[in-house]
Amino acid sequence: MLREGMKEMLRCIRCGACMNHCVVFRQLGGHVYGGTYPGPMGAVLTPVFDGLEKSRDLPHACTMNGKCQEVCPVAIPLPTLLRGWRDRSWREGLEPSAVRFGLGIHTFVAARPRLYRLGTAIAIRVMRLFSRGGVIKGMPGLGAWTAYREFPAPAKRTFMEMYKDQEKGQ
């Protein structure tokens, strides 16, 4: 644990406070990712014991809202430690090529505000074509996601459109 830079985890008293306040753990519960230790501290510990190659999904399951750190009685910086695993996974090339490609495209588009606004406007209109009753049950490119869950339909207008109207006093 010292070699992996997880010295803070040695203070863990296994009280479970982090699990009781973790939004992801509350939804999934138990040992859904297959690690010995559940919850946020398990997402930090499992890569130490099993290797990051086998458990890289655990640090990515976290929303990074910091609730686990807020309630930890021994002040373990769990989000920081999880972010460290994410960074290492990226540096070591463990992320799937599709993820790396998608993030590259997102970086390119997000750095160009006009292109980003155009893309979101088009995406919202296309997604509405697949919406039925406020949800999307199937859509090209979302098959793996919608096979087990519904995707919420987008709002009728983009956030920026609503924000501009609010600024105008409408």
Residue 67 has pLDDT above 90, yes or no: yes
The count of structural domains within the chain is 2
Judged by average pLDDT, the poorest of 103-112, 113-122, 151-160 is 151-160
Distances (CA, A) of 26 to 62, 120, 136: 12, 31, 25
* Percent above pLDDT 70 for the chain: 96
Q: Is there a single domain that holds both residue 122 and residue 78? A: no
Instruction: Compute the distance between CA of residue 76 and CA of residue 78 in angstroms, rounded to an integer.
Output: 6
Q: pLDDT, tens digit, for every residue of 129-144?
A: 988 888 888 888 777 7
pTM over cut 0.95: no
Distance CA 122, CA 136 (A): 16
Confidence of residue 32 (pLDDT cuts 50, 70, 90): low
CATH code of residue 67: 1.10.1060.10
Q: Looking at the structure, do residues 16 and 79 belong to the same domain, yes or no?
A: yes
CA distances from 92 to 17, 124, 141 (A): 32, 35, 27
Give the residue numbers spanning the domain of 105.
97-167
12 or 169: whose pLDDT is higher?
A: 12
Mean pLDDT score of the chain, rounded to an integer? 88
Task: Please give the average per-residue pLDDT across 60-82, as a whole number.
Answer: 94
Mean pLDDT for the stretch of residues 15-19: 91
Nearest to 78 by CA among 1, 22, 2: 22
Give the pLDDT of residue 3: 86
pLDDT for 31 beyond 70: no
Q: 74 pLDDT exceeds 70?
A: yes
